[in-house]
Amino acid sequence: MTSIDPDEIAKFEAMAAEWWDPKGKFKPLHMMNPVRLDYVTDQIAAEFSCDRRALRPFEGLRILDIGCGGGLIAEPMARLGASVTGADAAEGNIAVARLHAQQQGLEIDYRAAAAETLLAEGEAFDVVLALEIVEHVADPAAFIRSCRDLLRPGGLAVVSTLNRTARSFGAAIVGAEWIMRWLPRGTHEWNRFITPDELAAMAEGAGLQVVDRRGMVFNPLSWRWSLSSRDLSVNYALSARRPA
């Protein structure tokens, strides 16, 4: 089994140099990053009863960021004290991520690998982050099962992706690719987007307990992102626990 879809990896290889350019092709991820980080941090802190006021609240936690890209989330996780492994199937991304972490003086274990490769190596983590990757893998349900297997019992998975709605077509394809041209045309394929119910069913099918679902909403008037428990129509995240 491989979760790798070669055409998808090629798209990301071609954009690798732009990961840390906030005005480049990953502008949407940079814009969304603070709100995403808030969500991920809250979920992890709640699940593992971390002391949010501590200097390094995630000290002692082993976090895997699967499909880490340039490390936009792996880096803040390391700053919060976690021991972070970042894996991506695109080697160019890993080269960029390694160099950037080094420049920041951060120690992150970066690997050019898919989830299955880490599994074969017998790795297990307290937290698996799979942000904006399920819509790019070959078989999302099988990928979620690999994420489960990479969690130790009692571990937490946080998955974020795009819902498959008329609004997500308008925002992610027409808005971000055709009008704003933030992303090259064809970066996203709408029919690969996954609804929250479908993602929850995949998680439950893998034996995970869904603990939270949250929308990440962009307001074009204030140009701001916020979290919402009601509006999951475009971007959203789901957290699920592997039972102990």
Site residues, ligand SAM (CB under 6 A) = 3-4, 8-9, 12, 29, 66-69, 72-73, 88-90, 93, 114-115, 131-133, 136-137
Residue 12 interacting partner from Mg ion, ligand SAM, none (CB closer than 5 to 8 Å by kind): ligand SAM
What does DSSP assign to residue 176? I
Please say which residue, 61 or 162, places its beta carbon nearer to Mg ion: 162
37 among the known binding-site residues? no
Please say which residue, 237 or 240, places its beta carbon nearer to ligand SAM: 237
Tokens 């996954």 found at: 194
Please say which residue, 88 or 132, places its beta carbon nearer to Mg ion: 132
Contact criterion met (CB below 8 Å) for 115 and 88: no
Tokens coding 62: 């082993």
State in angstroms the smallest separation of the CB of 83 from ligand SAM. Answer: 18
Residue 217 phi/psi, 5-degree rounding, is -115, 130
CB neighbour list of residue 93: distance below 8 Å, 6 or more residues apart: 12, 13, 16, 19, 68, 69, 70
64 among the known binding-site residues? no
Residue 240 interacting partner from Mg ion, ligand SAM, none (CB closer than 5 to 8 Å by kind): none
Residue 88 as a binder of Mg ion (CB under 5 A): the answer is no
Please say which residue, 36 or 62, places its beta carbon nearer to ligand SAM: 36
Please say which residue, 133 or 153, places its beta carbon nearer to ligand SAM: 133
CB atoms within 10 A of CB 204: 13
CB atoms within 10 A of CB 7: 10
Q: Residue 177 corresponds to which amino acid?
A: E
Pairing of strands 209-219, 224-228: antiparallel
Environment class of 178 (CB within 10 Å of its CB; exposed 0-12, middle 13-18, buried 19+): exposed
Tokens coding 44: 């992890």
State in angstroms the smallest separation of the CB of 41 from ligand SAM. Answer: 15
Residue 69 interacting partner from Mg ion, ligand SAM, none (CB closer than 5 to 8 Å by kind): ligand SAM
67 among the known binding-site residues? yes
Residue 151 phi/psi, 5-degree rounding, is -95, 140
Residue 9 interacting partner from Mg ion, ligand SAM, none (CB closer than 5 to 8 Å by kind): ligand SAM
Please say which residue, 57 or 175, places its beta carbon nearer to Mg ion: 175
Site pattern 107..136 for Mg ion (x: CB under 5 A): -------------------------x----
92 among the known binding-site residues? no
CB neighbour list of residue 121: distance below 8 Å, 6 or more residues apart: none
Residues that bind Mg ion (CB under 5 A): 132
- Residues comprising the binding site? 36, 67, 88, 131
